Amino acid sequence: MGEVGRSGPGTALVVGAGVVGLSTAWFLQERGVTVTVVDRAGPAAGASWGNAGWLAPGLALPLNEPGVLRFGLRSLFDRTAPLHVPASPDPGLWRFLLRFAARCNWRAWERVAQANLALNADCLAAFDALVAGGVRVQPMPAPVTAVFESAGHAAGLLAELARLRDAGQEVAYRGLTGTELEQWLPQASEAMGSGVRVDGQRYVDPGEFVAALAESVRARGGSIRSGFDVVEVRPQRHAATVRSASAGSLSAQVVVLATGAWLGRLGRRLGVRVPVRAGRGYSFTVDTDEPVPGPVYLPGARVACTPYQGALRVAGTMEFRAPDAPLDRARIDAIVASARPYLTGVHWEDRRDEWVGPRPVTHDGIPLIGATAAPGVYVAAGHGMWGLTQGPVTGRLLAEQITTGKQPDALREFDPLR
């Protein structure tokens, strides 16, 4: 259900101006569709601005690794832990967490890894297509370096990367001795004696990239409207209408909901039964004594660091709260406390750009991409921590489905009606 005819639509309305929504709009334009994008705030106003900026298919690891469950149970209500669930009477959240916990096993992990193969294999090519088509921000190639106290601590990540490779994903990596780590990453503290380098990855300033993507959509004839908070989607025979509480209504032949962690209520009305919750991430920027050569991963602290505007963006935590809840400064302090032992030459106390944003997480770890039960209405959400990496390829594949009326094989596992 929800497919259009083979001739394809002439107009599309995309709800959500993050990387997923704008990528879908851009690739629809490639296929001759006139596009309008609406957003309650504007381009990159949600999770697309403050994330780590990694384009790292080699580290797009399923979230439901069995160790996450053990770690989560130990730290569930600890405000200083990387995974935090505030005490809440919300029964929907607890149902979601129980369903997620039931999938924290290797069999379910492998299912997620298999589902993601197609997205991860083509994600960098999708970025290349955007840049070649006029998006003016060029991603930077660089390995991601994971830092550990010892080779024993590194063994877990090496084993998980081996599982990812066994699942069919191409990923190039190798262990680093303490000496090699010191030579490559001057910020690694003396307490760090081992590393893992994952080659063939990239990074980008995510806010700058999404702004450039929005600029390209406009330059190609698209319209982007801010201040349009969609409260209702009404499918009709040959079109669909979205209504804002304050900005009126708009119609197009197809509608795409790319609203991330805000999908829930609208999605349920369209037959999407898989819940999407906000796994909120925090970030901030700090200066360093020396330039950082590339992205740095601190698995023990569950923190990602990225060169950013001549400084270092530090991002971490997974906090299950309402997407619009205010920033909790204790979470920033927790990231600093957990990351400080790993790195030196970082000006931790002189922070700026402190930010929190909601990453859309599904209980089964698999995004929602495709047609809903409502004719002409599609969704693209639930990418968890990998929305930037997988956003452009999601947009390309969904644009193909919308304009041809055929679901690409790569999207079968992501069916929103599963």
Q: Which residue has the tokens 């995004």?
A: 367
Average of pLDDT values for 353-365? 96
Q: How far apart are CA 86 and CA 334, in angstroms?
A: 15
Average of pLDDT values for 142-162? 97
pLDDT score for 19: 98
Average of pLDDT values for 242-249? 94
The pLDDT confidence band at residue 237, using thresholds 50, 70 and 90, is confident
Average of pLDDT values for 366-379? 98
pLDDT score for 5: 43
What value does the mean pLDDT of the chain take?
94
Average of pLDDT values for 359-385? 97
The pLDDT confidence band at residue 82, using thresholds 50, 70 and 90, is low
Sign of the C-alpha dihedral computed for residues 101, 104, 105 and 111 taken in this order: positive
Domain ranges of the chain: 11-414
pLDDT score for 85: 73
Tens of pLDDT, residues 107-132: 999 999 999 999 999 999 999 999 99
Q: How far apart are CA 330 and CA 82, in angstroms?
A: 11
Q: What is the pTM of this model?
A: 0.94
The pLDDT confidence band at residue 89, using thresholds 50, 70 and 90, is confident
Average of pLDDT values for 404-410? 97
Share of the chain above pLDDT 70, in %: 94
Looking only at the bridges linking them, the beta strands covering 34-38 and 172-177 are unpaired
**Which of the residue ranges 88-97, 159-168, 248-257, 344-353 would you say has the lowest mean pLDDT?**
88-97
Tens of pLDDT, residues 15-33: 999 999 999 999 999 999 9
Average of pLDDT values for 223-227? 97
Q: Return the CATH number of the domain spanning residue range 11-414.
A: 3.50.50.60
pLDDT score for 70: 65
pLDDT score for 6: 44
pLDDT score for 413: 97
